[in-house]
C-alpha cells in the first residue's frame, strides 16, 4: 500500500444553531493514501460535504462550528494550527474543488487573476512567473487558447470550462490532496465525463490523493479505488470499490446498490427504493441510525449503537447484523 498522507481520526463537527449544538458528523475516521482516489458517497445531508470542509477547517470557528478529533497531515494535526498556519496549508497542500464553479469563482476577477492569486500567495514568485504558470495550468487542464482565456471573466466561460478553471486554481500549487466536492453535479452528462476524466488524469499525473465526494455511484465505480459510505454523519461502510459494489455488507449500502438502474433490469420493473427518508439531524434515532429504515432491523438495532467493525482486510461496516447478512443479497 502507498504512503498514507492524510489521516482523519474521530472527527466530529458540531454546528451552533438556534436550537443549540447540532452534531453534523460524529466520529468519522479514515485515511487518504498518496495517489489513490477515495470516494465518499451518501445521500444529501449525510455529512460528506461537512467532512470534506472540516478537513480544511472552512467553517467559521467563531460563531458557527466546533471541531473535535484529529486531522493529521503527515503527523501534523491541523486542528492545532493557527489560522495563519492553516492558510498556508489551504490551496498549497490540500486544495478543494467545489460543486458550482459559477458561484465559486469570484465574478469580478478574471480567471487568470484567480489562478495567479493562489500561486502568489503560496509561492514566492514574481507576477510574471505567476502569469506564465497560470497560463500553463490553464493549458494543463485542457483549456484551448489559454492566453486568451486568461483575461476572461468566469461568466464568459461555459460550465465545463469554468469547472476546469476551478480545478486549475486548485491544482496550481501542486497539492498533495485534492478534495473534489461533487465536482460534476452541475454539469451536462457529456461534460461530467470529461471533467471526471480530467480529475483521474490529474490524479495520475500529479500522484496526489483525491477525495471525491459524490452521490453518483456510477462515477465512483468507474474512478475510485476505495469508497466510504456515509449515513447521518457517520461512516457506515468502508471498503475497496469491488467490495462495496459486489459484496455490500451494510443494509444501507445494499439499498444504494440496489437502487442503481441496471441495463439488464426488466422494463416496467420498479426501481428499488429505501423506505422512509433521512431523519432531520436534530432527531437522530437511538441505537443504529439506520434502524428505522432498515428492513432487517431487530431489537438490538433499536437500542444499541453499532461500532464500525473490521470485517476483512479492506472492508469495515457499522452493523450488528453484518455477520448474518454477509451473504450477497438481491
Partner 1 sequence: MREGAIPIGLSYVSDGPDEMEQLRKSLEKEQRRIQIRRFTKNRGSVFGLAVVTVMVMLAVLAPLICRYDPLALDTVNRLKGSSAEHWFGTDSMGRDVFARVLYGARISLTVGFLVGITTGFLGVLIGLYATTNKVADNILMRICDGLKAIPSTLLAITLMTVLGADIKNVIISLVVVSVPGMARLARGQAMVVKEQTYIESMKCLGAGKTRILWKHIAPNIISPVIVQVTFVFASSIITEAALSFLGAGVPAPAPSWGNILNEGKGVIYTAWWLVLYPGAFTALTVLGLNLLGDGIRDFIDPMSN
Partner 2 sequence: MSKFIAKRILSVVPVLLVVSIVIFSLVHLVPGDPAAAMLGDLATEQDIAALRTRMGLDQPLARQYFIWVGNLLRGDFGVSVVNNETVASMIISHIKPTISLAIYSLCIAACIAVPLGMIAAKNKGSAADHAVTAVSLAGISLPSFLLGLFLMLLFGVKLRLFPVSGYKGLEEGLGAHLKSLTLPAIALGFMNAALMMRMTRASMLEVLGSDYIKMARAKGVREFSLMAKHALKNTLVTLITVFGQSIIQALSGAAVVESMFAIPGLGQLMVNSIGRRDYYVIQTIVLLIAVFNVLVNMVVDILYGCVDPRVRVN
Which residue ranges make up the site for partner 2 (CB under 8 A)? 53, 56, 58, 62-63, 83, 87-92, 95-96, 98, 100, 103-109, 117-118, 121-122, 153, 155-156, 166, 169-170
Per-residue HEC secondary structure of 223-267 comes to HCCEEEEEECCEEEEEEEHHHHHHCCCCHHHHHHHHCCCCCCCCC
**What does the alpha-carbon distance between residue 135 and residue 114 come to, in Å, rounded to a whole number?**
11
Residue 17 engages partner 1 in binding (rule: CB under 8 A):
yes
Q: Residue 302's binding partner, choosing from partner 1, partner 2, none, with beta-carbon cut-off 5 to 8 A by kind?
A: none
Q: Residue 259's binding partner, choosing from partner 2, partner 1, none, with beta-carbon cut-off 5 to 8 A by kind?
A: partner 1
Three-state SS at 212: strand
Which residue number, 36 or 182, has a Cβ lying nearer to partner 1? 182
Long-range own/partner contacts, residues 292-296 (CB < 8 A, 24 or more apart): 293/252, 294/251, 294/252, 295/251, 296/251, 296/321, 296/325
Which residue number, 221 or 278, has a Cβ lying nearer to partner 1? 278
Q: Residue 45's binding partner, choosing from partner 2, partner 1, none, with beta-carbon cut-off 5 to 8 A by kind?
A: partner 1
Of the candidates 101, 130, 125, 99, which has an alpha carbon nearest to the alpha carbon of residue 113? 130
Q: Residue 121's binding partner, choosing from partner 1, partner 2, none, with beta-carbon cut-off 5 to 8 A by kind?
A: partner 2
Task: By CB under 8 A, name the one of 68, 103, 259, 312 that touches partner 1.
Answer: 259
Which residue number, 98 or 150, has a Cβ lying nearer to partner 1? 98
CB atoms within 10 A of CB 128: 8
Q: Residue 90's binding partner, choosing from partner 1, partner 2, none, with beta-carbon cut-off 5 to 8 A by kind?
A: partner 2
Task: By CB under 8 A, name the one of 66, 201, 276, 303 that touches partner 1.
Answer: 276
Three-state SS at 308: coil
Q: What is the rounded end-to-end Cα distance, in angstroms, of the chain?
A: 32
Task: By CB under 8 A, name the one of 213, 256, 311, 322 that touches partner 1.
Answer: 256
CB 308 within 8 A of CB 316: yes
Q: Residue 40's binding partner, choosing from partner 1, partner 2, none, with beta-carbon cut-off 5 to 8 A by kind?
A: none
CB atoms within 10 A of CB 280: 10
67 CB-near residues (< 8 Å, 6+ apart): 11, 12, 13, 54, 57, 59, 61, 79
**278 grid coordinates:** 433521512
Task: By CB under 8 A, name the one of 6, 212, 274, 288 that touches partner 1.
Answer: 274
Options 57-65, 113-121, 122-130, 237-245: segment touching partner 1 (CB under 8 A): 57-65
Of the candidates 254, 305, 256, which has an alpha carbon nearest to the alpha carbon of residue 284? 305
Task: By CB under 8 A, name the one of 201, 280, 303, 307 that touches partner 1.
Answer: 280
Which residue number, 146 or 255, has a Cβ lying nearer to partner 1? 255
Segment 163-222, which members bind partner 1 (CB under 8 A)? 215
Task: By CB under 8 A, name the one of 278, 284, 308, 329 that touches partner 1.
Answer: 278
Q: Residue 280's binding partner, choosing from partner 1, partner 2, none, with beta-carbon cut-off 5 to 8 A by kind?
A: partner 1
Amino acid at each position: 500500500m502507498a504512503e498514507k498522507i492524510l489521516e482523519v481520526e474521530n472527527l466530529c463537527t458540531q454546528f451552533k444553531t438556534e436550537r443549540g449544538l447540532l452534531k453534523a458528523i460524529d466520529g468519522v475516521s479514515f485515511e487518504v493514501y498518496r495517489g489513490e482516489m477515495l470516494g465518499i458517497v451518501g445521500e444529501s445531508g449525510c455529512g460528506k460535504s461537512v467532512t470534506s470542509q472540516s478537513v480544511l477547517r472552512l467553517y467559521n470557528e467563531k460563531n458557527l462550528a466546533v471541531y473535535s478529533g484529529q486531522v493529521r497531515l503527515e503527523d501534523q494535526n491541523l486542528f492545532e494550527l493557527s489560522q495563519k498556519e492553516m492558510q498556508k496549508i489551504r490551496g498549497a497542500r490540500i486544495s478543494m474543488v467545489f460543486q458550482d464553479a459559477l458561484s465559486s469563482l469570484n465574478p469580478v476577477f478574471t480567471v487568470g487573476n484567480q489562478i495567479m492569486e493562489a500561486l502568489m500567495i503560496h509561492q514566492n514568485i514574481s507576477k510574471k512567473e505567476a502569469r506564465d504558470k497560470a497560463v500553463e495550468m490553464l493549458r494543463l487542464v485542457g483549456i484551448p487558447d489559454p492566453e486568451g482565456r486568461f483575461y476572461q471573466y468566469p461568466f464568459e466561460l461555459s460550465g465545463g470550462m469554468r469547472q476546469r478553471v476551478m480545478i486549475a486554481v486548485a491544482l496550481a500549487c501542486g497539492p498533495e490532496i485534492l478534495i473534489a466536492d461533487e465536482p460534476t453535479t452541475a454539469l451536462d452528462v457529456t461534460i461530467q465525463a470529461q471533467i471526471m476524466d480530467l480529475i483521474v488524469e490529474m490524479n495520475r499525473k500529479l500522484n496526489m490523493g483525491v477525495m471525491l465526494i459524490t452521490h453518483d455511484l456510477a462515477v465512483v465505480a468507474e474512478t475510485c479505488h476505495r469508497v466510504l459510505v456515509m449515513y447521518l454523519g457517520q461512516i457506515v461502510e468502508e471498503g475497496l470499490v469491488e467490495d462495496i459494489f459486489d459484496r455490500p455488507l451494510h443494509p444501507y449500502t445494499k439499498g444504494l446498490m440496489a437502487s442503481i438502474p441496471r441495463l439488464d433490469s426488466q422494463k416496467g420493473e420498479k426501481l428499488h427504493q429505501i423506505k422512509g427518508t433521512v431523519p432531520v439531524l436534530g432527531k437522530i434515532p437511538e441505537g443504529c441510525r439506520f434502524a428505522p429504515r432498515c428492513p432487517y432491523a431487530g431489537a438490538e438495532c433499536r437500542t444499541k449503537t453499532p461500532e464500525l467493525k473490521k470485517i476483512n482486510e479492506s472492508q469495515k461496516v457499522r452493523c450488528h447484523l453484518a455477520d448474518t447478512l454477509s451473504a450477497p443479497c438481491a
